[in-house]
Structure 1
Amino acid sequence: MSKRNIVAVVGRPNVGKSTLFNALAGSRIAIVQDTPGVTRDRIYQDVEWLNHSFTLIDTGGIEPDSKDIILAQMRDQAQIAIDTADVIIFMVDVKQGLTDSDSKVADMLRKSGKPIVLCVNKVDNYNRDSMDVYEFYNLGIGEPFPISAVNKQGIGDLLEEVVSHFSKSSTDEEEDDSVKIAIIGKPNVGKSSIINKLIGENRLIVSDIAGTTRDAIDTPVKYNGKKYTFIDTAGLRRKNKIKDELEHYMIVRTVGAVERADVAILVINAEDGVTEQDAKIAGIAHESGKAVIIAVNKWDLIEKDNHSVKEFTKDIRNTLAFMNYAEIIFISAETGQRLVKLYDMIDMVSENHALRVSTGVLNEIMTQAVVMQQPPSDKGKILKLYYITQASVKPPTFVIFVNDKKLMHFSYTRYIENQIREAFGFKGTPLRFIIRERKEDK
């Protein structure tokens, strides 16, 4: 399975990064304001362009030498985005011209060893501004691509150059046939402890390979003859105590790790309960379509009665209602309680994530479902479901052909999903549905 590439947009403050981000994302997601340093956090979005799909990360502006605490934090955040990315779009401003800061940012990017695409923004009139664009060749990082993010001009040529750097990173990932598991969660919930305990009990660890995200380690492990790679998103070792800043680091690390994984294990601290931060991190795994296990850690520290597991499970299902398919396990990294069972659960959700169901069986289930619950209608027109087929796996994705898409309410799609889950389980994996119209046969 090829992994979705990650593209980071970096540059000094106020060169137009968020405007480009919004143009590519198709909606106004990043705040655009004509004041340096408005985008203080990094925002990510999945982008489709021609036959390519990738995750775009918008970053706060880099001021290489600034002593200002906010700008320094933004620089650190941008560095993490750079470490996480497969390709970097380095944006400069034709109106401001080449600055010392641009040269320093270019030096910073060169050290990353990542492919860099130089993007010269605010070229609203190419005939007038073309000579000014040539100045940026002096950065020594290749051909500058002139664009106008506001007018959406030149973006096609820019993206063509960006995607030309994708193939190598995807191929490298595909050579590894192990199941990749991202251990995700808030800081200090025990992510590293879980991996360390698993390694301690299984001496068949192959090696430690530095991961693509800063401070993350990819740990290959063999267990019962099967190969696994744990991607640890720990490593928040900075002295920064500002809660929001920690959250920013956490989100971009999580995006990077989840994109490379098949299975995401969301670690929740039993003492904290399920929090809003947990829901944000869970949302990343859900949107990426990964198989999900929720591991409630430090369960040994909780005073329990006969209803404790039931009550905690209920809280998880309420707070994370969008991923009711996720498997839940109660563990203790400290004592090792139920940790080995994680392997069985990983195998199960990984198999379900890649499960393919034959078209004939799917259509039998759908026909039966329609008989049991009549499809919705509007103004005398009744929804007709003609045909269902599975288009892809990881996650399992189904296409349903109907007479009128507008009549296929979300609730009826969910009903069909529940029937399929009842027949095949699909525990631990999201299911995706694409609704297509087909004209009625006369």
Structure 2
Amino acid sequence: MKPVVALLGRPNVGKSTLFNRITRARKALVDDFPGVTRDRHYEDAIWNDVEFTVIDTGGFLSTDDDYFASQIKTQLTIAAEQADVLIFIMDGRAGMSPYDRELSDFLRRMSKPVFYLINKIENYKQHDELLEFYSLGIDKFYKVSAEHGVGVGDFLDDLVEALPEYKKMEEDEDTLIKIAIVGRPNVGKSSLANRLFGEQRLVVNEKAGTTRDAIELKCEHKGRQFILVDTAGIRRKGKVTRKIEKFSILKSLKSLDECDVALILIDSDEGITDQDITIAGYAEDRGCGAVFLLNKWDLLDKERKSVKKYMEDLRYKSKFLSYAPAITISALTGQRCHKILDEVVKIYKEYCHRINTGVLNRIIEDAVYRTEPSLHKGKRLKFFYATQVASKPPSFVCFVNFPKAVHFSYKRYLLNQLRQMIPLEKTPIKLFFREKTGRIKFTGNSKEDERIFQKKKKHNTRRQKERTEQSKRKRQRDRDDS
């Protein structure tokens, strides 16, 4: 494993800001008020050609002043135990705090290298106000500004020298399946992530909005590698007022852009709501695979526990995701959770599928022969040929004489034929129509354009001569026969 560095400190000292600065990515949410970060957030970084992993943690509070204080402290302790080097961050503007002294004593007992940083130092005038920090009994402090990057480079130079040696091993990114767990607030996303991960990795609470950041977890199942992304709950736009929640939702939507398969969680105890269908629409728009998970199935009584009724209601409201399978689960008890990753593998296999161009054209040709498209201004629509242009999801282009005249119902017919014949039953499919023209495509380079023009001209001249010779031979045969 790569060397691990943990960022520790009380709330609102700038841990997430420094995390983003070191990793050179804006993956951790940052705001002025304390308590934004609750879960452990991992990200790789590199400095002076040395690779290492950085852990962002929640703010340390010894008392239960905060609703999540005890759970955050547990997460912080685990991060400190996993890390090879600890970074203790303090606030140079606010000064010393009793929590700083308590956390300092805690880190001394860890028997690991500790770097002491005083953050939010933007000018030399502040240096005279830092004398109280020396009461901790520390000889060396790094005075930095994570927001502006002041002093961070010198600190990282010393940090990478203290890291243990690491032998880089190649990882095959193509074998990783990225899964985003999305849904409304308090439907059990973090509980499901913990269940699939195999341990209590994320903070879980009955209070809605517990998860604010998009947290990535790596896990393995039957020899396959997965990345689980636990996201913040997506509420209706009209109910979102706080800036931090807006950023959380944006990160959730970005996770849908980057994932291969989305697990759309629905609270079966509350039923299928309009917001559940809206979230499913976000997944459909982004072209990722999808699985509906009806969570909290164990809370339903016998009268409401009708799978057929739920599935009919789900399929009626989400007709646009008719290809997405649905499973009734309980993240709390683990009921049927073992089926989820197996289903994801099946979807991913279809999601990456590629088909031979000849086979694809025979499918389209047969579909057009059995059901011809409607006329356009008295002219017949002609499908010349088709080809697959991409996977993830499978995307196809059909070249026709009038692409804008293809009715959406006929497009749906062709999509259904592709699903049946390839087969692609559990993945989204993209189908585009383009006009087939014989026009010469110019590159903008005069010499290259001239070469293409002369080549096209010779080709047309040769074909014209062949047609003329064929016509002469046909007339001669006709005369001989007469």
Instruction: Tell me the TM-score normalised to structure 2 length.
Output: 0.51
Answer whether contact 1:349 1:426 (CA < 8 A) is retained. no
Cα 1:429–1:250, aligned 2, differ >3 Å: closer, same or farther? Answer: farther
Cα 1:174–1:235, aligned 2, differ >3 Å: closer, same or farther? Answer: farther
Matched, 1:285 2:283: yes
* Aligned twin of 2:103: none
Distance in 2 separating the partners of 1:280 and 1:364: 37
Distance in 2 separating the partners of 1:216 and 1:362: 39
Matched, 1:327 2:329: no
CA positional deviation for 1:379: 2.9
Q: Given the alignment, which residue of 363, 374, 377 partners 2:375?
A: 377
- Higher mean alpha-carbon deviation, 422-431 vs 369-378, is at 422-431
Matches within 5 A, 1:31-430: 175=173, 177-200=175-198, 215-234=213-232, 243-245=239-241, 248=246, 251-304=249-302, 308-430=306-428
Distance in 1 separating the partners of 2:196 and 2:343: 14
CA positional deviation for 1:413: 0.9
CA positional deviation for 1:191: 0.8
CA positional deviation for 1:175: 4.4
CA positional deviation for 1:424: 2.5
Distance in 2 separating the partners of 1:249 and 1:332: 29
Distance in 1 separating the partners of 2:351 and 2:365: 24
Letter in 2 for 1:329: I
CA positional deviation for 1:267: 0.5
Q: Which SS does the other structure have where 1:377 is aligned?
A: coil
Cα 1:233–1:299, aligned 2, differ >3 Å: closer, same or farther? Answer: same
Answer whether contact 1:382 1:407 (CA < 8 A) is retained. no
Distance in 2 separating the partners of 1:411 and 1:432: 15
Q: Which SS does the other structure have where 1:179 is aligned?
A: strand
**Gap runs ≥5 in structure 2:** 1-29, 37-118, 121-146, 150-169, 204-210, 440-466, 468-482
Letter in 2 for 1:220: K
CA positional deviation for 1:256: 2.2
Q: Which SS does the other structure have where 1:295 is aligned?
A: strand
Q: Which SS does the other structure have where 2:229 is aligned?
A: strand
Q: Which SS does the other structure have where 2:185 is aligned?
A: coil
Cα 1:439–1:260, aligned 2, differ >3 Å: closer, same or farther? Answer: closer
CA positional deviation for 1:318: 2.0
Q: Deviations over 1:303-335 (max 9, x none)?
A: 346992222112212222222221111111122
Q: Name the count of aligned residue pairs.
A: 279
Q: Deviations over 1:133-164 (max 9, x none)?
A: xxxxxx989xxxxxxxxxxxxxxxxxxxxxxx
Q: Which SS does the other structure have where 2:198 is aligned?
A: helix
Answer whether contact 1:189 1:297 (CA < 8 A) is retained. yes
Cα 1:174–1:245, aligned 2, differ >3 Å: closer, same or farther? Answer: farther
Answer whether contact 2:213 2:251 (CA < 8 A) is retained. no
Cα 1:173–1:391, aligned 2, differ >3 Å: closer, same or farther? Answer: farther
Distance in 2 separating the partners of 1:173 and 1:378: 53
Letter in 1 for 2:198: G
Q: Which has the larger radius of gyration?
A: 2
Aligned-pair identity in percent equals 41
Distance in 1 separating the partners of 2:233 and 2:272: 22
Distance in 2 separating the partners of 1:371 and 1:333: 49
CA positional deviation for 1:274: 1.6
Answer whether contact 2:297 2:330 (CA < 8 A) is retained. yes
Distance in 1 separating the partners of 2:174 and 2:275: 32
Cα 1:425–1:254, aligned 2, differ >3 Å: closer, same or farther? Answer: farther
CA positional deviation for 1:185: 0.5
Cα 1:304–1:436, aligned 2, differ >3 Å: closer, same or farther? Answer: farther
* Aligned twin of 2:14: none
Q: Deviations over 1:216-258 (max 9, x none)?
A: 321111111111111101489xxxxx94348745631321221
Cα 1:404–1:235, aligned 2, differ >3 Å: closer, same or farther? Answer: closer
Distance in 2 separating the partners of 1:389 and 1:334: 46
Cα 1:427–1:248, aligned 2, differ >3 Å: closer, same or farther? Answer: farther
Q: Which SS does the other structure have where 2:332 is aligned?
A: coil
Distance in 2 separating the partners of 1:282 and 1:271: 18
Q: Which SS does the other structure have where 1:265 is aligned?
A: strand
Instruction: Tell me the TM-score normalised to structure 1 length.
Output: 0.55
Computed over aligned residues only, the root mean square deviation of the Cα atoms, in angstroms, reads 4.2
* Aligned twin of 1:49: none
Cα 1:382–1:303, aligned 2, differ >3 Å: closer, same or farther? Answer: farther
**Gap runs ≥5 in structure 1:** 1-61, 66-71, 77-109, 112-138, 142-171, 237-241
CA positional deviation for 1:440: 8.4
Answer whether contact 2:233 2:249 (CA < 8 A) is retained. no
Q: Given the alignment, which residue of 436, 439, 442 partners 1:438?
A: 436
Q: Deviations over 1:379-409 (max 9, x none)?
A: 3111111111110000110000001112211
- Higher mean alpha-carbon deviation, 275-284 vs 397-406, is at 275-284
CA positional deviation for 1:289: 0.8
* Aligned twin of 1:131: none
Q: Which has the higher contact order (CA 8 A, sep 6+)?
A: 1
Letter in 2 for 1:263: V
Letter in 1 for 2:301: E
